[in-house]
Structure 1
Amino acid sequence: MTTEVTFGVEEEYLLLDEKSGQASPRAARVRAAADHQPGLGRHEVDDELLQALVEVATPVCSELDEIAGHLERFRRAVAEAARLAGCRMAATGGAPLSSQPVPVTRKQRYRDMRADAGRLVDEQLICGMHIHVAVPDRSAGATALGLLRPWLPVIVALGANSPFWESHDTGFASWRTVVFGRWPVSGPPPFIADGAVYEERVEALLATGVIPDRKQIYWHARLSETYPTLEVRAPDVQLDVESAVTLAGLVRALVVTALRGGRRGHRPLDPPASILDAAGWHAARHGLSADLVDPRHGTPASAADVVSALTDHVSGSLKELGDHDRVTAGLERLLDGGTGAERQRRALAQGGPEGLLDVIAPDPAGGPGR
């Protein structure tokens, strides 16, 4: 396995009214302002399903420092563009305050989704982090997907950053995971042994007529239909860049470990779908603040022990990629300082709604979340 395995990160951001903190449908204005920001190329900021959301995507990268550099410039420049458009850019997995319905972006695909799914589309004020890792081909990628699948609930727990919804504490660390799980094809992917089986599963789903196309396969991890990558979609967007970098490095190592295991014919852990669903729900509920389901045994263990098991599982790949020290230090910070969800709750308790907004939507000149 070469030590240069390319990868990239997509981040979604929520736009909030600068005074009320409610979702603000100003994506078109933010995108127009972003095109004039010195830190951004033209059209690097894209739209999303609802007009209070925008998305960015790094170029193909080889090193964590590259990922960090791109995410830092995106956040700084998009936050400034949002300020110029009269709103705030928030790095949170879900809209924390009650909001009026936000219109869908003016694309036929999005209009069709709104007509088909109604209230579910209205509630898609959620933001994820998607990590794309290069794979040699779709067959190798599908085999790797089968091998890494049992660890996805741990990624959900580590990436939890959406505790609030409609001005209430949901009691969940990742409410985004719950909201997204309402789509017909979502949650943990089924066990898939190879590329042929993957295509059979996808074609069978399309044949039902329930989803119109492959873009509505919203599993926590899937093969990209656009790039030669395995795409892990489990984490919420992160409060800060270094947490995002930690998850990106961990996921890349997890994919590299799975690719190696596939070539060597390793027998995968294959928990029943019901166990994996339960583990994912529990991870979304608690984040790192309670036990997690240990994927090796299907039994509860402390979050620290399960994260340690995952680190051990990918340790060889982390070292090979040169990411071991940075990723393990980042995981220790998440275990010691809490996920984004825990940090959001602390901010609200200490500073009220304005303190919460300062954490999830910091001033572009610098401050919390930088």
Structure 2
Amino acid sequence: MRTVGVEEELLLVDPETGEPQALSSAVLARAAMDDEDQAVFEKELHNQMLEFATHPQSGMGELRAEIIRCRKEAARHAGEIGCTVAALATSPLPVRPSVAVGRRYHWMDEHYGIITQEQLVLGCHVHVSVESDEEGVAVIDRIAPWLSVLSALSANSPYWQGKDTSYSSYRSRVWQRWPSAGPTEPFRSAERYHRRVASMVATGVLLDEGMIYFDARLSRRYPTVEIRVADVCLHADTAVLIATLARGLVETAAREWRAGVEPAEHSVSLLRLAAWRAARSGLTEELLHPVTMRRMPAEAVVRALLDHVGDALTETGDLERAQDAFAELLRRGNGARMQRELLRRTGSLQDVVIECVRQTQA
């Protein structure tokens, strides 16, 4: 069974006002005092962010338990210095992000200017194990049309600098400012993938291979495909659903590759349109169907994804749980819908953040 790991980026906020707090260095110093957490939490681009990474897990129950534990530990460490954490993909309240100290971040700030300075967005990255780079690239080629559906499911960033953006995932739109971000056409071999990456780095526009921000890429550090399209999810159960579907997509794509099934011939232009539609609509309107690239109700498109990965999820024992999790997500709403409903009830973005702090650890 393929293993799965999740990286989540959390927003550091004041527990009373909900305003973002530039305290990541202090939180990391506190976490470093705990031997168990030293390798779990990491610095990110902005001082208002805290990242954690789970261990590779085979069972989704174990993955869920670790995500919940890491969130609670993040809140504990943050609480010891007077702040807390929220699983929000953008700050609903106005914020002036501060870039973290470090040679890499200084280079990014110098070269990309306002893009770096404004890039306070928080994602959920899913690593799924693969047997080789060749299998990994074959997977990347074949999962590309389906990734916009994961973006719609995870959408959790309707607000930006105190305003409603009219998007469900505005994080994904801000992320597209990076020069290497977005979908890719089929590479068809690991050699071509690595040649493309090397050519991009050689331009000098990117600092190194770590700045290859494809929607799905080969990990530099692990034998995994890293899927990078999801907002950080308000609820841990949604993050587990994204991870479950990601593993199903990887396994299904690997089987197609071994069976000689060619990847879809959708252009990058169409994939970008599907990503935009998912960012705009989330689960509330229509999405583009990954096969036909024509509009369909969001629920029907997600069910098409569940059908597509159904055999893989059945074999891992995850199909029924994924179906139930999706039904609950439809009933409750993703993070974007919940944030908007909270604002309608309370009339206060501050109250939205405070309630999201609570639900982050629920």
TM-score range, shorter chain: over 0.9
Residue 88 (str. 1) matches residue 84 (str. 2): yes
Other structure's SS at 1:34 match: helix
1:196 and 2:191 correspond: yes
Q: Is the 8 A contact 2:46 2:97 kept in 1?
A: no
Aligned counterparts of 2:360 and 2:177: Cα–Cα separation in 1 = 32
Return the match for 2:11 from 14, 28, 32: 14
1:27 corresponds in structure 2 to 24
Structure 1: distance between partners of 2:222 and 2:360: 34
TM-score normalised by L of structure 2: 0.96
How much has 1:257 moved relative to structure 2?
0.5
Aligned pairs, number = 361
| Distance (whole Å) between structure 2 residues aligned to residue 52 and residue 246 of structure 1 | 26
- Counterparts in 2 of 1:1-370, with a 5 A limit? 4-36=1-33, 40-102=36-98, 104-351=99-346, 352-362=348-358, 370=362
Structure 2 CA distance for aligned equivalents of residues 11 and 113 of structure 1: 21
Per-residue CA distance 1:256-283 (angstroms, 9 max, x = gap): 1011111111122121111111110111
* Matches of 2:323 and 2:167, distance apart in 1: 25
Q: Which residue identity does 1:146 align to in structure 2? A: D
Q: Is the 8 A contact 1:37 1:81 kept in 2?
A: no
- Bigger CA drift: 302-311 or 346-355? 346-355
Distance 1:168 1:125 in 2: 15
SS of residue matched to 2:270: helix
Is the partner of 1:219 in helix, strand or coil? coil
Aligned to 2:230, the other structure's residue is in SS state: coil
Question: 2: CA distance between counterparts of 1:101 and 1:246?
Answer: 30
Output the CA distance in 2 between the equivalents of 1:147 and 1:91: 30
Residues 152-184 of structure 1 deviation map (CA, whole Å, 9 limit, x = unaligned):
111111111111110011111011101100000
Query: How has the CA–CA distance of structure 1 residues 337 and 324 changed in structure 2, closer, same or farther, with 3 Å as cutoff?
Result: same
* AA at the equivalent of 2:314: K
Preserved contact between residue 71 and residue 361 of structure 2 (Cα < 8 Å): no
SS of the residue corresponding to residue 242 of structure 1 reads helix
Moved more, 215-224 or 205-214: 205-214
Secondary structure of 1:82's aligned partner: helix
1:9-44 C-alpha deviation (Å, 9 max, x unpaired): 110111113343222110011112234569x53342
- If the length of structure 1 is used for normalisation, what is the TM-score? 0.94
2:13 partner SS: strand
CA displacement at 1:100 relative to structure 2: 2.5
Q: Which amino acid aligns with 1:57?
A: A
Shift of 1:208: 2.1
Q: 1:11 is matched by which residue type in structure 2?
A: E
Bigger drift between 207-216 and 136-145 goes to 207-216
Deviations 1:181-228 (CA, angstroms, capped at 9, x unpaired):
000011112222121111121122122221121111111111111111
Write the letter of the residue equivalent to 1:350: R
Structure 1 stretch displaced more, 193-202 or 164-173: 193-202
